[in-house]
Structure 1
Amino acid sequence: MTVFIHKESERRPDEASYDHIIPAGEGWMRDLRPGQVLRIVDLEGNQAADTLFYDAENPEDHYSAVQTIAGQQNIYLTTGSVLRAESGKPLLTIVADTCGRHDTLGGACSAQSNTVRYAHETLPMHNCRDTFMLQLAKRGDGYTKRDLAPNINFFMNVPVTPEGGLTFADGVSAPGRYVEMRAETSVTALISNCPQLNNPCNAYNPTPVRVLIWES
């Protein structure tokens, strides 16, 4: 049986060394030092924060959904989940979580997936893959679209059917809920605050998220 561990953090926002709002549909990319703690806050509820992590010293060793799922023998992420790279190296550990369940199977929306899931008319709509690529282009440092991989969808509800299929359902988050992660090594974090207008996970209404960082 899957157990979701709700755990509140003792960290206070006014003691954070970094505090930033990511508007709906926009991206964010920043390095984390070992021991720093990143919190992502779902400000208005049921927003999806599509997220990727990279080993900052070896960006080719990016977050791996397969290694993470295999390591914890659980398809969902919650308190205690170790987010692993392709090499199996721990990148971050979820140390607090007031949502209790996060998806790492559904992937990021793209122009192509929008047309398959919804309608051909959605092709020109903004999507997370485009946001990821824009942030990587701004960063430089040799990052390309080859560095995109299956990502985490924080706060997103993607139940698995008995037949093994995926369903995109109403969100399980609420205003002010958050997930908090401790960097286990030097990590580069990349977030696309999902602009999706066709998915019930965010009630068809993309909203801002907040990111905070505390020192070790």
Structure 2
Amino acid sequence: MDSVGRRYGAAQPWALRDVSVRVPAGTFVAVMGATGSGKSTLLHCAAGLDRPTGGEVTLAGRNITRMREAALTRLRRDRVGFVFQSYNLLSELTVRQNVLLPSRLGGRRVSGADLDTVFESVGLAGKAGQRVGELSGGQQQRVAVARALVTRPAVVFADEPTGALDPTTGGRVLGLLRDAVDELGVTVVMVTHDPVAARVSDRLLLLRDGLLVADTPTPDAATIAARLAAVSGAAMVAS
């Protein structure tokens, strides 16, 4: 994205202000900042879920800033995966049905071999016929990761994917995203509040009041926590 700004009304403050970020393919990026810093707005604009007020956004090699909604929907369906804290699964459907649902709605066919490979990679082999409502929270998040990966996307956007999970289960989910980057060449952009989760990334973006204030290689968890505290403290003083 280049010089992206976003505000939700003329009388409202800017949620993003002149943010420019370029993410090479096959990179794991963590986006952090205090509540209200613009993290989710950045992710939504980058993923084409929200339109910027100003600036340009490129997704999977295509400029989507003024792309028609139908074309943007197809691009997201074909080239993008999503993982959210709330899973967004249908509990009455099976694991297989949930994973295949977006592809079937879009008229795309996923081979049995690809499906089996994804189930194996996320630790769901043998559970394809089980109803999602019968699974644990960690298993449901694995289903969400499988759904995001089954179409071989160029980019996966993850919004607090471990926020509702215990540390051990969250670590496993982060490992799946890390493997997608290292083994499949997927680009992952993840919003998180957790320095331990962020440390698995390659690159750390810090936001404050809609501004990008840091873009660095990812340090250890303790350093991430210190930088986040400093940014959050500065935001409180400024307000």
TM-score normalized by the length of structure 1: 0.27
Task: Flag the structure with higher strand content.
Answer: 1
Give the structure, 1 or 2, with the largest relative contact order (CA under 8 Å, sep 6 or more): 1
Q: Which has the higher helix share?
A: 2
Higher CA-based Rg: 2
